[in-house]
Amino acid sequence: MLFMELKITNLSKDFRKTKAVNQVSYTFHSGVYGLLGINGAGKTTLMRMLTTLLNPTSGEITWDGEDVFKMDKAYRKLLGYLPQDFGVYPDFSVQDYLRYIAALKNLTPTEAKEKVQEVLLLTGMTQFKGKKMRTLSGGMKRRAGIAQAVLNDPKILVLDEPTAGLDPSERIRFRNLISELAADRIVLLSTHIVSDVESVAGQIILMKEGRFVATGTTEELIAACPDKGWLCNVPKDEVYAYHQKYRVANVKTLSDHAQLRILSQDAPMPGAVPEETSLEDVFLSYFGERSGGEDGNGMV
């Protein structure tokens, strides 16, 4: 009986007074899931529980109906994990590192040898395999991190902020890689950047203050979003007032007036032109702030 169902039920994690994850329930099947939320939303905490690094305060996580903490290593066998704070062994070469993790993942030395070649190729790290990990750039470290995550062909691939600190070309490369990896597994990808997930994730989960505040496909989220985008031309001296009253997604200053993109249920002023709502708008509407940009200068 294998239907690949990762289910979380009323899952909570408290740190002292903080409810980092608060009564979350959800079911994952094969596909790419984008976990979207600002810094402190609880994404990392949720992922640490999903990877059995952290025991939940309450609630449960099951794989095909079985408690994952009871499954123990049988569950971890299915896991691939790229942590947000991804550390390396500075004195190991990339190849050493991957073979070591392969051993931890119960690959025989022969399997490991083959598989390591394969993931090096997949992540474009082949020519760097002899490099000591301390000398790797942030982007290369991240690639090595993804390489280790997929060594065991995981059924559940958990990637925590995998694009943080990557430059735009690396981001694109990375999105393509995710699409390649998506077949026949659950990929859970967290980010605070809308553009990271909007094209690759089939399902998007908006997480805020430990809760899932909205879930669905991009279209579903947009449809369900109470706010719409409106383009309004306002006098320059009223921009501040609009900022006070509405969520302003964008301001464009023109010669004699300002053009605002406002999120609101109804037209904020006569003559406002309704615009197509984007996932970015949905994000802004839920979080009250813009997601981090492509250049990675958002909140990390």
Partner 1 sequence: MAMVWYEIKKILLRPSCQIALLLLLALSSYICYQEVYGDEGVEWLTESGEWLKGPAAAREMRSAQEEWSGPLDQAMMEKALEVLKRYEEEEKDHPEDIDYRFQRIQPLMDIRDMLNLAGKDYYEWEADDFFIAETLTPETLPNVREQRIKQLENYLYDESSLAYSRFSQNEKEYLLSCYEKMDETIQMGYAQGWSHAFDAGYYVIFYGSIIMAFLVSGLFANESRRKTDAVYFSTEHGRKKGSAAKLTAGFLLTTAVYWALMLTLNGLILSMLGFEGGDLSILAEPMDNWRCIFNLTFRQRSLLALLDGYIIWMLFSGVAMLVSASTRSESLAATVPALLILIPNALNSYGITQGSSFWMNFFPDKMVRAYVGNSPYVLVEIFGKVMPMLYVQRFLYTVLIVVLTLVCWQIYRRKQVR
Ligand X SMILES: Nc1ncnc2c1ncn2[C@@H]1O[C@H](COP(=O)(O)OP(=O)(O)O)[C@@H](O)[C@H]1O
Stretch that binds ligand X, among 35-43, 109-117, 151-159, 289-297 (CB under 6 A): 35-43
88 binds, among ligand X, partner 1, Mg ion, none (CB under 5 to 8 A by kind): partner 1
CB atoms within 10 A of CB 154: 20
Interface pick for partner 1 out of 70, 89, 243, 259 (rule CB under 8 A): 89
Q: Kindly determine how many residues on this chain lie close enough to bind ligand X according to the rule CB under 6 A.
A: 11
Q: Is 17 in the site for partner 1 (CB under 8 A)?
A: no
Interface pick for ligand X out of 8, 20, 78, 101 (rule CB under 6 A): 20
The conformation of residue 229, written as its DSSP 8-state character, comes to: E
HSE, CB side, 13 Å, CA atoms: give it for residue 15.
10
Q: Is 164 in the site for ligand X (CB under 6 A)?
A: no
CB atoms within 10 A of CB 263: 21
Q: Is 77 in the site for partner 1 (CB under 8 A)?
A: yes
Site for partner 1 in 244-263 (CB under 8 A): none
103 binds, among ligand X, partner 1, Mg ion, none (CB under 5 to 8 A by kind): partner 1
HSE, CB side, 13 Å, CA atoms: give it for residue 137.
8
104/224 with CB nearer partner 1 = 104
Q: What is the distance, to the nearest Å, from the Cα of residue 148 to the centroid of all Cα atoms in its chain?
A: 18
Q: Beta strand 66-67 with 58-63: parallel, antiparallel or unpaired?
A: antiparallel
CB atoms within 10 A of CB 87: 9
Tokens 């050493």 label which residue? 96
Binding to ligand X by CB under 6 A, coded x per residue (else -) over 39-68, reads xxxxxxx-----------------------
69 binds, among partner 1, ligand X, Mg ion, none (CB under 5 to 8 A by kind): none
Strand runs labelled E in the chain: 6-15, 18-28, 31-36, 58-63, 66-67, 79-82, 156-160, 186-191, 203-208, 211-216, 228-234, 247-253, 258-264, 273-275
Q: Is 37 in the site for ligand X (CB under 6 A)?
A: yes
Q: Which amino acid is at 114?
A: E
210/229 with CB nearer Mg ion = 210
**Sites of contact with partner 1 (CB under 8 A):** 15, 48, 51-55, 72-73, 76-77, 79, 81-83, 85-92, 96, 99-101, 103-106, 109, 112, 145, 148-149, 152
